Amino acid sequence: MQFLKDDGALVCRHAGETLRIEAWGQDAFRVRATMASQFTGNDWALTEKVNKSGAQISIDEEDFWVGDGSIAKQPIATIVNGRLKAVVNFAGVLSFYRDDTLILREYFRFYGGTLSKESRCLKIVNREWKGVIGGSEYALNVKFESNKGEKIFGMGQYQQDVMDLKGCVLELAQRNSQISVPFAVSSLGYGFLWNNPAVGRVTFGTNYTEWIARATKEMDYWITVADTPKQLLTNYTAVTGRAEMFPENLMGLWQCKLRYRTQDEVLSVARQYQKEGIKIDQIVIDFFHWTVQGDWKFDTKYWPDPKAMVDELHSMGIKVIVSVWPSVDRKSENFGPMMERGLLIRTERGAAQTYDYQGDCVEIDPFNPETREYIWEVCKKNYFDYGIDAFWLDNSEPDYGVYDFENYRYCEGPALTVSNLYPQLYSRAFYDGMKKENKGDVVNLLRCAWAGSQKYGNVVWSGDVPSTFEAFADQIQCGLNMGLAGIPWWTTDIGGFMTDDVNDEDFRQLLIRWYQFAVYSPVLRMHGDRGPYNIPPLDTRDWGGGYLHTGQPNELWSYGEENYTIMREYYDLRISMHDYIKGLFEEAHENGSPLLRAMFYEFPQDEVCWTLQDQYMFGDKYLVAPILHLNQWTRDVYLPAGSWKLTSTGEVFKGGQTVTVDCPITYMPVFEKQ
């Protein structure tokens, strides 16, 4: 092993690999390795200017147990940045220390270089590189020792019923309702970013942790330490970016359904809300308002005067957001030019098709700057210039017809190497374009994200999830882990997306419980595909804005007077919290704190709080206990130390105990910290 100092970084060379460790922000290191002659220069999520100097580096020798009982001297190197120390032994094995306490060590079981006398003949190395045949990339496998008793959170959004990820296997890939944001928060006081957009897998096993990139040119990760999860998020967002200040005029109700088919439908809903005395902040025009996918324009048969529609909505104080998909149908007027210029995803084998919903489609390649410029210019002309305020960038994973990542290629390279970055670059096409037009506050709605997406005006929603209590419970931990991964602007489809029958009383109970939760979440947004599908299409054509089905009405008054009364009361509650919610968005902008907070985020010293996933803090003031089961009329709630007032009765409870409270359909338990 050869150790060098290079411009404040520790460089280690061994067996063709170059390892580089350097200070990167407060109490943090960036760690890279490559088998090539030089690094790619890609910063990926590490976009912010931070302090990269000041590390203390020492190169020394240590005693090494040879195996015959004798001791030999071998080189060892240490680099220190504040409270974080990394040690590299002669075999290239990395160990990380927080205040000189070991927190993370690479897993190595090989004779002649073990860190202990155990398992030395297994020939398992800490960083395994296997060349991808026929390419310049490697399959990379990086292993770490598993810490007993450790809990791990964050990593984005996975549709499962566990929040603590210790013991979980997570695919590092984007899918509809699955969002890979590879930043992990450990209960041991460190945060770890896998700064690599390659498709792969992470296993937080009880025997070892394993990070896999199926095809990549280099290893790249970032690690930091702190006393609390809040400080870890502060450190993390300092290097990846923070959300801008969320506009005050979008903190209320967003109205949406599947789907408003005409501008008259949109205006009639807006007028009815105005008549009801309910201010909606934004109304959403969903998919297939267009001619065909990839035309990115209104079908004039059903949207004859979009500007007049937008002007009237603006006069009511309502902003307008319109759906844009990345799919381009072969029948689209943009397909030929985009295919000719290489602006679409390429397939490695077979037909040039990546998506097949309602058409033979190929999706755009946002890794190409020309693609981002092209789609923005079309959408600017056909939407933005009419006064459209924002864009719903749906299918932003992208939603492949088959998630066969090895069959797709972008201008940046194989999808296997970079595909997880797709949603962020897709959003950049609109964020950058709108900023160039001096739009000011940019708030777009996306179904996917990656590390750093928080800085590009992305409200991320949890995808097309079922309308079940089980799925509802999953969304709680999804939102909490997204917040811990640095994404503070997060929302869900109230009531879930997939509903067979809006008249089902069980569904209506679910809707109310989900709505109550949504009032205490970052963005309050009505949406869903509401059956039964007995509304006839507007047109007999097999294309255009009139042929596709629509869902049942999904406005607050659509579910009967009793439910409307409940939702109206909770709407008023949301409006009354405006100043408080504004303060939470300011905090997200200033230090990266999520609005939806795991209990341990506010109470890291309380061991019980590290085990809870069915209750949360909305900011630092409100403890929220959603109702996650059908016909549940009481529930247990754990109260941390302090005094807590139940908002339904005003009764004050002493913390440090679990209490049982009533939860009729009109009320979701919320405690206010005193």
- Of the residues 214, 240, 266, which one is the last residue of a structural domain? 240
Q: For 186-196, write each residue's pLDDT tens digit.
A: 999 999 999 99
Show the domain range for 653.
598-673
CATH number of the domain residue 155 falls in? 2.60.40.1760
Provide the pLDDT for residue 256.
98
582 assigned to some structural domain: no
516 assigned to some structural domain: no
- Of the residues 181, 205, 240, which one is the last residue of a structural domain? 240
Going by C-beta distance under 8 Å and a sequence separation of 6 or more, which residues neighbour residue 543?
Answer: 291, 292, 331
Q: How far is CA 89 from the centre of its chain?
A: 36
Dig out the tokens for 139 from the structure.
């399959």
Provide the pLDDT for residue 439.
85
CA distances (Å), 242 to each of 74, 396, 614, in order?
A: 43, 21, 27
Q: For 405-447, write each residue's pLDDT tens digit.
A: 999 999 999 999 999 999 999 999 999 999 999 989 999 999 9
Q: For residue 64, is pLDDT > 80? A: no
Mean pLDDT score of the chain: 96
Dig out the tokens for 587 from the structure.
């905090």
Active site residues: 394, 397, 464
44 assigned to some structural domain: yes
Q: For 75-128, write each residue's pLDDT tens digit.
A: 999 999 999 999 999 989 999 999 999 999 999 988 654 455 555 688 999 999
Mean pLDDT of 298-319: 98
Q: For residue 360, is pLDDT > 80? A: yes
287 assigned to some structural domain: no
Provide the pLDDT for residue 338.
98
CATH number of the domain residue 644 falls in? 2.60.40.1180
* Cα–Cα distance for residue pair 574/580, rounded to 1 Å: 10
157 assigned to some structural domain: yes
Q: For 561-592, write each residue's pLDDT tens digit.
A: 999 999 999 999 999 999 999 999 999 999 99
Q: For residue 357, is pLDDT > 80? A: yes
Dig out the tokens for 660 from the structure.
């049982």
Exposed/middle/buried for residue 591 (C-beta within 10 Å: 0-12, 13-18, 19+):
middle
606 assigned to some structural domain: yes
Q: For residue 295, is pLDDT > 70? A: yes
Considering the chain, what percentage of its residues have pLDDT values greater than 90?
93
Provide the pLDDT for residue 120.
67
Q: How confident is the model at residue 73 (pLDDT cuts 50, 70, 90)?
A: confident
Going by C-beta distance under 8 Å and a sequence separation of 6 or more, which residues neighbour residue 515?
Answer: 494, 495, 566, 567, 570
444 assigned to some structural domain: no
Dig out the tokens for 124 from the structure.
């398992």
Dig out the tokens for 6 from the structure.
């290079």
Provide the pLDDT for residue 114.
46
Q: Which residues of 635-664 are buried (b: 16+ CB within 10 A; e: fewer)?
A: bebbbbeeebebbbeeeebebeeebebebe
3-class secondary structure per residue, 124-168: ECCEEEEECCCCCCEEEEEEEECCCCCCEEEEEECCCCCCCCCCC
Question: Looking at 377-465, which runs of residues are DSSP E strands?
Answer: 390-393, 408-410, 413-414, 444-446, 458-461
Going by C-beta distance under 8 Å and a sequence separation of 6 or more, which residues neighbour residue 268?
Answer: none
Provide the pLDDT for residue 121.
83
Q: Please give the angle made by the CA atoms of 595, 589 and 164, to the nearest 5 degrees.
A: 40
SS3 248: helix
The kind and range of the H/E element at 319 are strand 319-324
- Of the residues 194, 211, 240, which one is the last residue of a structural domain? 240
Q: How confident is the model at residue 51 (pLDDT cuts 50, 70, 90)?
A: confident
Mean pLDDT of 443-467: 98
Tally of structural domains, the chain: 2
Question: Looking at 178-289, which runs of residues are DSSP E strands?
Answer: 179-186, 190-194, 200-204, 208-216, 218-225, 253-255, 280-285
- Which residue in 643, 653, 605, 650 sits closest to 621, CA to CA? 643
Dig out the tokens for 662 from the structure.
């009533």
Provide the pLDDT for residue 118.
52
191 assigned to some structural domain: yes
- More confident of the two residues 62 and 239: 239
* Cα–Cα distance for residue pair 574/557, rounded to 1 Å: 17
